[in-house]
Amino acid sequence: MVKAREQSIAIRKAGLGYNGKAILDDVDLQIAPGEIICLLGQNGAGKTTLFRTMLGFIAPLRGSVSLAGREVSRLSPKEIARIVSYVPQSYAMPFAYSVTDVVLFGRSAHLGLFASPGSRDRRVAAECLDLLEIAHLASRPFNELSGGERQMVVIARALAQEARFMILDEPASNLDYGNQVRVIRKIRELAGCEIGILMATHHPDHAFMAASRVAVLSGGRLSHDGTPEAMLTPETLRHLYGVEVQVFDTPQNGHASRRVCAPVVE
Amino acid sequence: MKGVSLILVCFAALVGVSVLSLGVGRYPVSPGDILSWLVTGGSADQNLPVVLLGIRLPRLVAAIAAGGALSLSGAAYQGLFRNPMVSPDILGVSSGSGFGAALGILFSLPVAAVQAMSLAGGITAVLAAVLVSRAIGRSSDSVLVLVLSGIVISSLFGALLSLLKYIADPLDKLPAITYWLMGSFADIRTGELGTAVAMVLAGAIPLLLVSWRLNVLSFGEEEARSLGLHTGRMRLAVILCATLVTASMISICGIIGWVGLVVPHISRFLAGANHRRLMPVSFLVGAAFMVAVDTVARSAASVEIPVGIITAVLGAPFFIWIMKRSSVRAW
């Protein structure tokens, strides 16, 4: 148990918020390498607060938030970046860096103050591009990529940090349908490489596709933490989103059966 | 190594422009004479060493240092503030320096003291902007708060400068202040130049060393932090270095606008967005540009034209072209 805790992200009875005011209270969450935890909740439920705390931007008001067995507030940005990487929502960049450069920026936590990336860093970056199957983009300007390509590049950058955990903020939200599925598949592959993943999403289907566990943020609490099948029932989805949703299993027609959501619209 | 060869080309261009500039003036010297004098150490013309060493070389060094300093800090600020429209005086260094110099001129202080006050004014203004932004607090967008603080401090010092101009003697002090604000290399003297160049080096070398990390900073506060940077410290260090570099040159040659805004764009066009290449190229291109502009300033007309006027006249249309280009593609 001690060993498991040393290798995981562990939040214990934590109150999280700003300026002494807790936005989330009594938060308990543990993420082990190889797990995918999907975080669901409405906008403003405290997802950003949770992420910011886990990344060390803000200190927990009470309780404990530990990364690989050490309190996050005692870690330097560099130490945190070696334990957990972060994939923000897609955005535009003011400068036209090449894709290779962007992925190399993920190596910052492994470089000295005055250093620039060396041959080992270039090798890691190339491997990350390969793993995400975007090596052909290497010399393209990041700004000129499509949304799906950009998302893959930013995931490659996070991967280049060689951190055991990755936090993704709605990685599939602004993508077209095919790219959503591609990103979810890649995230499953990353978990297969023993990376522990916390992923925020607005789509319960994403949780059915990828998650080993689901955590739900609502009313200032993190209620969790069960399998997607146990957590995402028509009742909880109605409670969470205020709409009727049918939940059922796909038939076995050559592919493995999987649970899906179908919102009721009439 | 594309980057290294580009830097060598820019360096060669700077050397070429410098040799030409040394030859141009009221007392023309051919580039051949300059080179033979450099190689052999002797010259048939007795006046040549005096003209070159005593008059044109200090001015050349000042133009190189000023152009390089303004462009380097401009490139650093554009990365830091994630905004290609930012110039080195965004945090108030120019208006602070102008105010300090005007105060010195108003009290009839000696030249060295005017320069020291200008330097102090520039650094004070930037520190005030940084402190104001800290006092406002840890907002989620601290870069925006910093820029707004800079604008406030800048306009405050601008108003104080107007006050000084208003009360200055219009026959004597006011022209001196106005002329100082236009920027010129005409009054450069070797003693102060040495100090200013030393300060430029003290700020420029750290900026060049952290240039790779400036890339990461340009992704914004939280993202840079999640990538492992100590963003607060890093940003403060970049601001202090850039301010030292800019204020030390402004203090001896006055306010020269546009260079720090425009040259990083030309350099980005040549070197790409990566600050590792962009920063040294900006320094060299800015230096060469300033040498060329100063050569025009001192030789185009029978009276010397303040160099700040020429940079503005060249900079404004160029900036319009940049804006037009930016609607097509990214920086």
Is the pLDDT at A253 greater than 80? The verdict is yes
Is the pLDDT at A2 greater than 60? The verdict is no
Q: What is the pLDDT of residue B140?
A: 57
pLDDT tens, B67-108?
999 999 999 999 998 888 888 989 999 999 999 999 999 999
pLDDT tens, B1-38?
467 899 999 999 999 999 999 988 888 888 888 888 88
Task: Nearest chain B residue to A87 by CA: give it.
Answer: B223
Q: What is the pLDDT of residue B171?
A: 92
State which CATH number among 2.60.40.790, 3.30.460.10, 3.40.120.10, 3.40.50.300 fits the domain covering A2-232: 3.40.50.300
Percent of chain B with pLDDT over 90: 65
Chain B partners within 8 Å of A156 (Cβ): none
Q: State how far the Cα of B114 lies from the Cα of A188, in Å rounded to an integer.
A: 66
Q: What is the pLDDT of residue A51?
A: 95
Q: State how far the Cα of A171 lies from the Cα of A167, in Å rounded to an integer.
A: 10
Compare CB distances from A109 to B223, B227, B231 and report the shortest one's residue.
Answer: B227
Q: State how far the Cα of A255 lies from the Cα of A184, in Å rounded to an integer.
A: 17
pLDDT band per the 50, 70, 90 thresholds, residue A1: very low
| A84-93, B4-13, B98-107, B196-205: range with lowest mean pLDDT | A84-93
pLDDT band per the 50, 70, 90 thresholds, residue B111: confident
Mean local confidence (pLDDT), A195-215: 93
Instruction: Give B132 or B191, the one with higher predicted confidence.
Output: B132
B47 lies within 8 A of chain A by CB: no
Task: Nearest chain B residue to A84 by CA: give it.
Answer: B226
Task: Nearest chain B residue to A157 by CA: give it.
Answer: B227
Q: What is the pLDDT of residue B31?
A: 82
Q: What is the pLDDT of residue A113?
A: 86
Is the pLDDT at A5 greater than 70? The verdict is no
pLDDT tens, A121-179?
999 999 999 999 999 999 999 989 998 999 999 999 999 999 999 999 999 888 889 99
Q: What is the pLDDT of residue B329?
A: 55
pLDDT band per the 50, 70, 90 thresholds, residue B138: low
State the smallest CA–CA distance between residue B222 and chain A in angstroms: 8
pLDDT band per the 50, 70, 90 thresholds, residue B224: very high
Contact (CB<8Å) B228/A141: no
Is the pLDDT at B225 greater than 70? The verdict is yes
- Return the half-sphere exposure (C-beta side, CA atoms, 13 A cut-off) of residue A219: 4
Per the prediction, chain A carries an average pLDDT of: 91
> Which residue, among A195, A237, A229, has the nearest Cα to A211 in the 3D structure?
A229
* Beta bridge pairs of residue A168: A87, A199
Mean local confidence (pLDDT), A205-228: 88
pLDDT band per the 50, 70, 90 thresholds, residue B328: low
CB B157 within 8 A of CB B99: yes
CATH superfamily, domain B2-326, is ABC transporter involved in vitamin B12 uptake, BtuC (1.10.3470.10)
> What string of H, E and C letters represents the secondary structure of chain B?
CHHHHHHHHHHHHHHHHHHHHHHCCCCCCCHHHHHHHHHHCCCCCCHHHHHHHHHHHHHHHHHHHHHHHHHHHHHHHHHHCCCCCCCCCCCCHHHHHHHHHHHHHHCCCCHHHHHHHHHHHHHHHHHHHHHHHHHHCCCCCHHHHHHHHHHHHHHHHHHHHHHHHHHCCCCCHHHHHHHHHHCCCCCCCHHHHHHHHHHHHHHHHHHHHCHHHHHHHCCCHHHHHHCCCCHHHHHHHHHHHHHHHHHHHHHHHCCCCCHHHHHHHHHHHHHCCCHHHHHHHHHHHHHHHHHHHHHHHHHCCCCCCCHHHHHHHHHHHHHHHHHHHHCCCCC
Count residue pairs from A and B with Cβ separation < 8 A: 89
All structural domains of chain A with their residue ranges: 2-232, 237-266
pLDDT tens, A21-73?
899 999 999 999 999 999 998 888 899 999 999 999 999 999 999 999 999 99
B230 lies within 8 A of chain A by CB: yes
Contact (CB<8Å) A115/B228: no
Cβ under 8 Å to B: A residues 114-143? 114-117, 141, 143
Q: What is the pLDDT of residue A121?
A: 96
ipTM of this complex: 0.91
